[in-house]
Chain A
Amino acid sequence: MARVQLATLVPNTIDFYPTHGLPAAVRAPIYRLYARLLIVEPGADARLLSSVDTGEAGRRIKAVVDTGSGISIFAYQTWKSFEQEIRWPKPVVKSGSPEPKVTVLGGKWPYRLGQIRIAAIDIHRNWFEPAWTLALFLENVPDAPNVNILGLGSSFFKHRQLRHAGYDPGELPIWWLEDVRE
């Protein structure tokens, strides 16, 4: 069974006073799950993952797992470094159409549609085979969010499930993305 452990980060907490009379404020951590991705050359054999650039830190990126997003999104600073490995399909738009924009984090940002071949890996050396992923590549405009999102449309979610598997010694939740057992 193929599976990868997702990275659990705690970027924010919410502090609040409960309404039922507790004297102390409560701090609720907001967890976010990240997939560790590896940009794989378009022609590379999937079996060669051990030998193609897993050692190249610049090819390794983190992306927020967002099952509420239908498509993956990559920030400009992320994709700029591997631009030559992105396929840019011709968009089906009429001349004079407005520039396509995607709404992310409360703003609307121009993007280009593209395909990139990525594998998923984790800190235990587990991995998913590389697959072409359709994604929106945010253009370089001021204030555009610097965030990568692995959306539900990614092939990494096909026939796979997210599974909560307890907590690590630091009490962070452990989540796996793994094949569904038939």
Chain B
Amino acid sequence: MPQTADLTGDTGVGFIPPQRLAIPGQPLELGPESMAIIADEVWIDEQYNAGAFDDYSGEYIAVVDKKLLGHNKIVQELREAVSRATGIRMGRIVTDFIDRNLYL
């Protein structure tokens, strides 16, 4: 029996379909937009490791659908600028700080 079977859907934050509740030990069920964000995060890491973002060291980059859409030292400015220029909502824009000189 699924762990969420006895839930009424009254979560206190609005109705949430029970099948979308996270079950400990099982992978999250994510929508297509979340999966696209994960794909972008993976792509950023691959490109970073390949040195493709070396020119942006010390800056944030913005990526959507595996395309570099901008860079800026201030992340909020970058999100707003890319969203304004492309019409993409800010929550979909994946940003990451590029630092090639960090030793810990």
Contacts and interface: CB of A to CB of B under 8 A. Distances in A.
Interface of A: 1-2, 7-12, 30, 32, 36, 44-51, 53-58, 60, 62, 64, 66, 75, 77, 80-81, 105, 121, 123-127, 129, 145-147, 149, 170, 172
A55 B104 contact: no
B11 A55 contact: no
Contacts of A124: 27
A146 B92 contact: no
B104 A66 contact: yes
- Smallest CB-CB A-B distances: 5 pairs: A125-B27, A49-B22, A55-B34, A56-B91, A125-B28
Contacts, number: 117
Nearest to B22: A49
B55 to A, nearest CB: 15
A57 B92 contact: yes
Given A9-B49, A77-B75, A125-B27, A51 B91 contact: no
Q: Chain B, interface size: which category?
A: 35 or more
A147 B102 contact: yes
Contact of A12 (B23, B95, B101): B101
A30 B33 CA distance: 33
A9 B54 CA distance: 13
A146 to B, nearest CB: 5
